[in-house]
Structure 1
């Protein structure tokens, strides 16, 4: 019987697992560097007029990237300590090194992950509020996110205080934290994408080509959101299965980088007009000075619907016109006219 056979099945190969996972984290961090530079270009240098929304998104982007950078640096430090430091001189030293959750070098990365995911969720809720133009719609997601934040910080602190990874209390709170995180991301992303599709469908009737101008943006949001949600769902499956619970703990390193990449990809793809398939994320009015309008009629239901509106700081999707406005302002214009959810098609 080999020496490794004496170890519990759940922790065998934990050293190799962390080595591979942290290598993958570094690979995704390299992608984040490129995407972050593109986001800075889109938000800071692509527009001559930059409103408070640009500054807000730029600040959040820098914050997320900073957390990701610190996390990958701490991961490198962990690898050095585990495979070059004193643990390597002990039998199964690297395995027991990664198994110990009470070290500060294990606690801090987990706190960074929790903070990063919470920030990403708040960005989703903010986009939900902006697209639907209703603070009431954001109350429930904020309440769910508060529960998520409480649960995830509770789990991280319990680990640091010495609770075993398979503790029943930690298991329940961990599943609750990831479940609430999935609810915010999945429901929020679907609500945003459906709103974009619906408004694009409404505004298509006043365009010559009858195309849904925001179908491409909706696909971008769905694709980018699905990447993070799928990774989180995989962690939940691994976490509830005792033989793979260590794999879930190690996989947090990769999901940490995906939590940073997901919101940045939306900004870059929409800002640089990198849309899904042949769909266009930006309408092209025949008269740029006036925007799209519908002929005025005697009743108020047929009043003109303008694409270019004054609320240029509402949505985080830069358009193509160099005036600092957002193409997504169509939604804000529609919301201001209807004062709530989209009305029936005959009221446009």
Structure 2
């Protein structure tokens, strides 16, 4: 299969530049997430906090490898590599190509794992996440095997090599994992919201949680669909999207935390862990509480109006 679209060397320059821009946004959002967690004194959930730090580290490492790859292709091996920069970037057995794909594999495993974790702590049921876990295991295997076949490649490009089959499987499985897990998560919160809406004593609502989760899922899924379409069509634009999705994973993760942490109507545990006790605690939060009722009664005594107050 012959690659189409923009030249590979041009795609590499564009992808690294756009990745750098998005990486800057992800760093700012990471800092905002940490500041919001400290400022609003929310108790950080250790697995989620660890995932946030790992995503930042992996995104940084991926960008560094891409910069090194640019330097190798356009400077170091420009005149000595057969075919020039285009052939260099097309060679999937290059150590920098294998390394960046391993980093992407870890980033994807963490990002999808966090979505499944959120789904579990909201539902508090292992049965609900059986299918997402199976899909996550499949995508993890594909994500780790693809770089291996790339390192063993002796010719051809990513579209003709066996690596391409595993990459296609990876994109398909991770997209399915994200859509199913996010759908289950949103459905659970939405059903809880419906149950407590009739007994709510205040104007608080959990629908902003649904909106944020849907936004994050759409952002990530749209990037995955674009990559999958470009890869199936053997379009070099997939290299651009593949580099961009590294910070996009982090951004989708941080946007959920940073937008929910300052939300005062959200239980303290929700932005970090999405606890499965939403229904119980929300019912307690909006349950009818005993209140004092003041009843005023006016009586007339000897021509004077007298107010009698009774309290119940």
Fold-level similarity (TM above 0.5): yes
Cα drift, residue 170 of structure 1: 3.2
* Pairing partner for 2:206 from 214, 225, 239: 214
Partner residue, 2:63: 72
Distance 1:11 1:231, change over 3 A: closer
Q: How does 1:136-147 map to 2 (within 5 A)?
A: 136-147=127-138
C-alpha distance after superposition, 1:143-184 (max 9, x if no partner): 111011111211121111116412364333322221111111
Normalising by structure 2, what TM-score?
0.81
Task: Report the alpha carbon displacement of residue 88 of structure 1 after superposing the two structures with TM.
Answer: 5.0
TM-fit CA distance, 1:128: 0.4
CA deviation profile, 1:68-94 (whole Å, cap 9, x unmatched): 011111111111222222315668511
Question: For the Cα contact (< 8 Å) 1:25–1:257, is it kept in 2?
Answer: yes
Tell me the distance in 2 between the aligned counterparts of 1:327 and 1:150.
29
Give the equivalent residue in structure 2 for 1:28: 22
Aligned to 1:232: 224
Say whether 1:253 aligns with 2:243. yes
Q: Answer yes or no: is the 8 Å Cα contact 1:82–1:88 preserved in 2.
A: no
Q: 1:60 Cα shift?
A: 0.9
Report the RMSD for the aligned CA atoms in angstroms: 2.7
Provide the rounded CA distance (Å) in 2 between the counterparts of 1:227 and 1:98. 28
Unaligned runs of 5+ in 1: 1-7, 274-280, 284-307, 319-325, 336-348
What is the TM-score normalised by the length of structure 1? Answer: 0.73
In 1, Cα distance between the equivalents of 2:215 and 2:33?
18
**CA distance in structure 2 between the partners assigned to 1:122 and 1:332 by the alignment:** 25
The more displaced of 110-119 and 195-204 is: 195-204
Preserved CA contact (<8 Å) 1:152 1:174? yes
> Who is 1:282 aligned against?
265
In the alignment, does 2:10 pair up with 1:16? Answer: yes
Change (3 A) 1:16 1:34: same
CA contact (8 A) 1:44 1:58 kept: no
Equivalent residue of 1:84, what SS? helix
- How far did residue 43 of structure 1 move? 3.3
- 2:255 match: 265
Q: Distance in 2 between matches of 1:161 and 1:228?
A: 30
* CA displacement 1:258-298 (0-9 Å, x = unmatched): 1121111101111133xxxxxxx826xxxxxxxxxxxxxxx
State how far apart, in whole Å, the 2-side matches of 1:263 and 1:30 are. Answer: 15
Q: Report if aligned partners of 1:43, 1:58 keep a CA contact under 8 Å in 2.
A: no
Paired with 2:173 and 2:204, the residues of 1 have a C-alpha distance of: 32
* 1:199 Cα deviation after fit: 0.9
Alignment of 1:83-102 (within 5 A): 83-88=74-79, 92-102=83-93
Q: Say which structure, 1 or 2, has more relative contact order (CA 8 Å, 6+ apart).
A: 2
C-alpha distance in 1, partners of 2:17/2:65?
13
Q: Which position in structure 1 is the counterpart of 2:100?
A: 109
Contact persistence 1:129–1:138 (CA under 8 A):
yes
User: CA distance change for structure 1 residues 334 and 12 in 2, over 3 Å: closer, same or farther?
Assistant: closer
Q: 2:184 — aligned with what?
A: 191
Structure 1, residues 33-77: CA drift from partner, whole Å, max 9, x if none? 100101222334531x73xx5222111100110000111111111
1:162 and 1:61, CA in 2 relative to 1: closer, same or farther beyond 3 A?
same
Higher strand share: 2
Q: Look up the SS of the partner of 1:206 in the other structure.
A: coil
Q: 2:148 is matched with which residue?
A: 157
Bigger Rg over Cα: 2
